[in-house]
Structure 1
Amino acid sequence: MRGSRAMELPEDFWIPVPLDTNNITALSPFLVPQDHLGDVSLFYGMAGFMFFIFIFGTAINVLTIATTIQYKKLRSHLNYILVNLAVANLLVAGAGSFTAFVSFSARYFVFGTLGCKVEGFLATIGGMVSLWSLAVVALERWLVICKPLGQFIFKPDHALACCALTWVFALMAALPPLFGWSRYIPEGLQCSCGPDWYTTNNKYNNESYVMFLFGFCFTVPFTTIVFCYSQLLITLKMAVKAQAESASTQKAEREVTKMVVIMVLGFLVCWLPYASFALWVVNNRGQTFDLRLATIPSCLSKASTVYNPFIYVVFNKQFRACMMEMMGMGSGSDEESSTSKSVTEVSKVGPA
């Protein structure tokens, strides 16, 4: 039985260090602690970090959904997209951060090979929906404020259709590893699972899958975000020039410029390390790398469940005011009125 298990393990996981194939069972990430990959303190530190991400990521995203349900005035096309983002974040927090916390605490992936596939699949879906939702938010802002389509009005139905499309795109990314195009295996310190971008096994065509993810699931959304927000900044510059005496318009420009920078940086912090590291591994086969470094991109992507809501929800004055009111911390109606006025003034610059 032990020898049979040793023959099966290379199909289930891969570690880029020399191994004794006669004793590979002793190092299985599904059976024993992976102390040979890092200090025990590192595993426990990562467990603590994942626990923090799980607790706060779950709390802020549940609060986002609850606030939207509580206040009808928040049920706008933009906020539908933010709720879609919150649902995706909850999926990542539950399927990704929590399982990583448990596994880092045990120092190996305790949920087995089937659990690895389930976690990898669900976390990938949540991550891809989150990623595409960020692109949809940028697209919505461009259509509403810059008015490139003239009198076209971005309605709630359009927002719901875009949200549905994010799940379609996510399934396009998450399903292939379940059917032989790549696969889900333990990654980094072997305590969380994701698509296989380590191996060169031609059976799974990992290189082409990684290139697909990099091109369709990173480059396209990132290009959309950069284009839409750059156009938004140009529109704001036009607003300031046309209304040079308006202090509120100038204030709106400063606020939105700051937000655009934060949004783009947040996207890059979340996804650039993962995409870049996977692409580097694919194009540098045979090169050694530290598995501890391979864990960082995965953790940063999971951390997006916390900092994305802060960027897109907590910094949204209307949402923040309603959250504070729901928690009995004040109303903030003045902030909401001020924000509405600034956005109205800026939107007047768009083409008719």
Structure 2
Amino acid sequence: MRSQSTMELPEDFWIPVQLDTNNITLLSPFLVPQDHLGSIGIFYGLAAFMLFVFVVGTSINVLTIACTIQYKKLRSHLNYILVNLAVANLLVSVVGSFTAFYSFCNRYFIFGPLACKIEGFMATLAGMVSLWSLAVVAFERWLVICKPMGSFIFKPDHALACCAFTWIFALIASVPPLVGWSRYIPEGLQCSCGPDWYTTNNKYNNESYVMFLFGFCFAVPLFTILFCYSQLLYTLKIAVKAQADSVSTQKAEREVTMMVVIMVIGFLVCWLPYATFALWIVNNRGQSFDLRFASIPSCFSKASTVYNPFIYVLLNKQFRSSMMKMLGMGGGEDEDSSSSQSVTEVSKVGPA
């Protein structure tokens, strides 16, 4: 399927196929099922996947927020960013995943052009908050464990400032398409909305916006994550050498190494397909590509509302035991005390 960069396009959508008719509204993704882009089975399969993401993502993020409200021990400043991440994930799940589910069921974006702009903006905003929150989590852990600023103490005000930072940067990234720098249109199989990666339109300067997103919202957070976690692992290596006989320190190193690997992989699974697809489109104008595969990056990013909480919340023993308690499944003092001991061991690793 080929980009129509030379065709005069409507303001609200992009037709990803060659047409034999001048009336391109016949295939409008706001009016008719997009069956020319894929089989009904593909649409319903993606609808089922989006329903799973919506149900599980909404449940686990609501539970994270509810646990934090109910259990005072979870309201530490180091957990603020995890709650911030849960709020962003919940917004993506409720707005993005549910809208995509219902649209895939109907095989076109049934809610109309205005809703497309709103959904594209809200999903991008919350997605950027989620992305920057992952970078802030890494930064927080670097500050607390590696102590690069010596006696500096990370306080609640600092944590709140970090949360505000994620929303400010997310607004910087998501507002431009609303005011003329790029635009929000149906993407992939035309059942969800996002920035216009597809067209070379001088009016919207889409290419420069894509490069801005890649640098500001992918490369910078990725560099932050890799730098902070590499420093964390280096600090732990030094501690293990200094305390070669300490079983608990060696255990802490193994656990943190596994945690870091999982977190980096989770970040790449979430955002690398989206960034790679956007860059490929920008650098291969006029090349054929399958819209079924173009939907995969969007689905992967929305699925982060499920696997991010598993990585950042359910691997946190305090959160896990509190969730089990709230659900009447026990959870207990042993896990709480174990968590406290593990945190203590890791926090002792950095320089005094």
**TM-score, structure 2 length as denominator?**
0.96
* 2:154 equivalent in structure 1: 154
Q: 1:85 deviation in Å? A: 0.3
Q: In structure 2, the residue corresponding to 1:255 is in which secondary structure?
A: helix
Deviations 1:237-283 (A, max 9, x none): 12211222221111111111111000000000000000111011101
* 1:245 equivalent in structure 2: 245
Checking the alignment, whether the CA contact within 8 Å between 2:96 and 2:123 is kept in structure 1 is yes
Comparing 10-19 with 122-131, greater Cα deviation is found at 10-19
Checking the alignment, whether the CA contact within 8 Å between 2:15 and 2:24 is kept in structure 1 is no
**C-alpha distance in 2, partners of 1:303/1:345?**
33
Deviations 1:100-145 (A, max 9, x none): 0010000000011001000000000000000000000000000001
* 1:73 equivalent in structure 2: 73
Matched, 1:196 2:196: yes
Checking the alignment, whether the CA contact within 8 Å between 2:15 and 2:28 is kept in structure 1 is no
**C-alpha distance in 1, partners of 2:299/2:21?**
30
CA RMSD of aligned residues (A): 1.3
Comparing 231-240 with 209-218, greater Cα deviation is found at 231-240
* 1:3 equivalent in structure 2: none
Stretches of 4+ aligned residues off by more than 4 angstroms: none
Deviations 1:170-225 (A, max 9, x none): 11111100010000000000000000010001110000000000000111111000
Mark the CA change 1:249 to 1:339 in structure 2 (over 3 Å): closer, same or farther: farther
Q: Which amino acid aligns with 1:165?
A: F
* 1:236 equivalent in structure 2: 236
Q: Which amino acid aligns with 1:33?
A: P
* 2:351 equivalent in structure 1: 351
Q: Map residues 251-290 of structure 1 onto 2, 5 A cutoff.
A: 251-290=251-290
Q: 1:22 deviation in Å? A: 2.0
Checking the alignment, whether the CA contact within 8 Å between 1:53 and 1:302 is kept in structure 2 is yes
Identity %: 82
Q: 1:306 deviation in Å? A: 0.3
Q: 1:347 deviation in Å? A: 2.3
Q: 1:9 deviation in Å? A: 5.8
Q: Map residues 1-352 of structure 1 onto 2, 5 A cutoff.
A: 10-352=10-352
Q: 1:328 deviation in Å? A: 1.4
Q: Which amino acid aligns with 1:55?
A: V
Q: 1:333 deviation in Å? A: 1.9
**C-alpha distance in 2, partners of 1:157/1:188?**
41
Q: Which amino acid aligns with 2:10?
A: P
Comparing 232-241 with 128-137, greater Cα deviation is found at 232-241
Q: In structure 2, the residue corresponding to 1:37 is in which secondary structure?
A: coil
Q: Which amino acid aligns with 1:90?
A: L
**C-alpha distance in 2, partners of 1:118/1:316?**
34
**C-alpha distance in 1, partners of 2:296/2:258?**
27
Q: In structure 2, the residue corresponding to 1:22 is in which secondary structure?
A: coil
**TM-score, structure 1 length as denominator?**
0.96
**C-alpha distance in 1, partners of 2:234/2:280?**
35
Checking the alignment, whether the CA contact within 8 Å between 1:184 and 1:195 is kept in structure 2 is yes
**C-alpha distance in 2, partners of 1:33/1:201?**
26
Q: Which runs of 5+ in 2 are unaligned?
A: 1-6
Deviations 1:18-76 (A, max 9, x none): 11342312211000000000000000000000000000000000000000001111011
* 1:4 equivalent in structure 2: none
Deviations 1:285-315 (A, max 9, x none): 1111111111000000000000000000001
Q: 1:149 deviation in Å? A: 0.4
Q: 1:339 deviation in Å? A: 2.7
**C-alpha distance in 2, partners of 1:261/1:15?**
40
